[in-house]
């Protein structure tokens, strides 16, 4: 119908996509074969059947196993290229892409291999489709701050290719303060700062991500509403929440899409954006997230316009560049 056409056709920015989470089962198998990597799954169907998650950790275990087929620069290029082609079809005009170097360097893959392949695909997407974008390097929060510092050290020669840094992986038991010093260093380097918080973890992690890490956006942040004072602060300060509705359902943050708090977040005046998180694992790319959420919650064309504007307003684009796209 008309609303679906509006949602599909509107120019949008995607601000919460883990590029390793865009690796489709078919590509996982093709790369496994190309690289002689053994998988614990007999077929594409067998792998897809394993995508029945009970919480964040049950997903992360399979997500890290999937990433083990990525060996060469061309593998990272092919993965990123496939995502950007799909994003282009969804009228994504700007992408701020997470990548997890530690998942690869821990397996002996060079940092350069990872970032060169991803950057080359981004450069091609810019010249072929006019998609702007950048990279946000994530630290794995289940690892130590010392390991995060070592990763930052490896990234320094590529400083100019990074838009910012983020914090992902297992949230519970790994509060933001664990990474206060490494984020302070990234801030000195002029990098933008974001962190996953309030997905599975408590609202307090959102507060400490803001106060101790000084992040500019919160990834997920849906549990914000449990704390009215925090909600007022996040709204007043215009801190964006990069919400991923289908992810929240697959990881059992909400039981069903009609129970998602997206409308309540918008009604609270929060700068909400819609994103796909790990589209190959969670059953949809960004337009699937928009369409299914709008249908489930009865959102309208006004909400569509607001969410599209928010996506550019929350992007790490120069103010002049942003103005043109709002």
277 binds ligand ES4 (CB under 6 A): yes
Q: Which does 75 bind (CB under 5 to 8 A by kind): ligand ES4, Zn ion, none?
A: none
Binds ligand ES4 by CB under 6 A, chosen from 10, 13, 17, 21:
21
Residues 234-253 that bind ligand ES4 (CB under 6 A): 247
Pair type for strands 92-99 and 217-220: unpaired
275: nearest Cα among 266, 265, 286, 261: 286
What are the angstrom distances between the C-alpha of 142 and each of 59, 125, 303, 322? 14, 32, 36, 35
Binds Zn ion by CB under 5 A, chosen from 277, 281, 303, 307:
277
Pair type for strands 132-140 and 240-243: unpaired
Residue with tokens 């974008």: 133
Q: Which does 200 bind (CB under 5 to 8 A by kind): Zn ion, ligand ES4, none?
A: none
**Contact predicate 41/315, CB 8 Å:** no
Pair type for strands 132-140 and 217-220: unpaired
The Cα 250–Cα 253 span in angstroms is 8
Residue whose beta carbon is closest to ligand ES4: 168
Q: What is the length of the chain?
A: 326
Concerning whether 199 is annotated as a catalytic residue, the answer is yes
Residues 175-214 that bind ligand ES4 (CB under 6 A): 196, 199
101 binds ligand ES4 (CB under 6 A): no
Site string for ligand ES4, 37-56 (x = CB under 6 A): -------------------x
68 binds ligand ES4 (CB under 6 A): no
Q: Which does 133 bind (CB under 5 to 8 A by kind): ligand ES4, Zn ion, none?
A: none
14 binds ligand ES4 (CB under 6 A): no
Active-site option among 20, 171, 199, 200: 199
Binds ligand ES4 by CB under 6 A, chosen from 168, 191, 240, 253:
168
Burial pattern 226-262, b for ≥16 Cβ within 10 A else e, equals ebeebbeebbeeebbbbbbbbbbbbbebeeebeebbb
278 binds ligand ES4 (CB under 6 A): yes
Q: What are the strands, taking DSSP E only, across 141-197?
A: 162-168, 192-197
**277 belongs to an annotated ligand binding site:** yes
**Contact predicate 251/59, CB 8 Å:** yes
Binding residues for substrate are: 278
Applying CB under 5 A, which residues contact Zn ion? 277
Binding residues for Zn(2+) are: 16, 18, 196, 277
Applying CB under 6 A, which residues contact ligand ES4? 18, 21, 56, 63, 168-169, 196, 199, 247, 277-278
């Amino acid at each position: 119908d008309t609303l679906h056409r509006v949602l599909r056709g509107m120019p949008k920015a995607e601000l919460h996509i883990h590029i390793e989470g865009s690796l489709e089962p078919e590509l996982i198998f093709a790369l496994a074969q190309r690289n002689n990597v053994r998988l614990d799954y007999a077929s594409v169907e067998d792998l897809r059947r394993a995508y029945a998650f009970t919480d964040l950790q049950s997903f992360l275990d399979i997500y890290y196993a999937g990433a083990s087929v990525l060996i060469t620069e061309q593998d990272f290029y092919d993965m990123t290229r496939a995502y950007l082609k799909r994003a282009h079809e969804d009228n994504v005009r700007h992408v701020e892409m997470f990548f997890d170097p530690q998942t690869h360097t821990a397996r002996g893959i060079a940092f350069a291999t990872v970032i060169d392949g991803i950057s080359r695909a981004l450069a091609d997407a810019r010249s072929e489709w006019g998609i702007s974008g950048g990279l946000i390097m994530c630290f794995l929060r289940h690892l130590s701050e010392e390991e995060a510092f070592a990763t930052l050290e490896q990234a320094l020669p590529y400083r100019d290719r990074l838009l910012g840094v983020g914090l992902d992986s297992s949230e519970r038991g790994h509060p933001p303060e664990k990474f206060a010093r490494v984020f302070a260093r990234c801030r000195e380097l002029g990098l933008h700062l974001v962190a996953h918080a309030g997905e599975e973890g408590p609202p307090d992690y959102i507060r400490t991500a803001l106060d101790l890490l000084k992040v500019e956006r919160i990834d997920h942040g849906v549990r914000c509403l449990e704390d009215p004072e925090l909600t007022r602060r996040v709204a007043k300060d215009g801190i964006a929440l990069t919400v991923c509705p289908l992810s929240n359902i697959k990881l059992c943050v909400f039981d069903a899409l009609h129970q998602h708090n997206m409308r309540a977040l918008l009604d609270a005046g929060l700068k909400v954006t819609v994103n796909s998180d790990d589209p190959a694992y969670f059953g949809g790319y960004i337009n699937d997230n928009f369409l299914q959420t709008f249908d489930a919650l009865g959102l309208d064309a006004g909400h569509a316009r607001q969410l599209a504007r928010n996506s550019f307003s929350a992007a790490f684009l120069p103010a002049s560049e942003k103005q043109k796209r709002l």
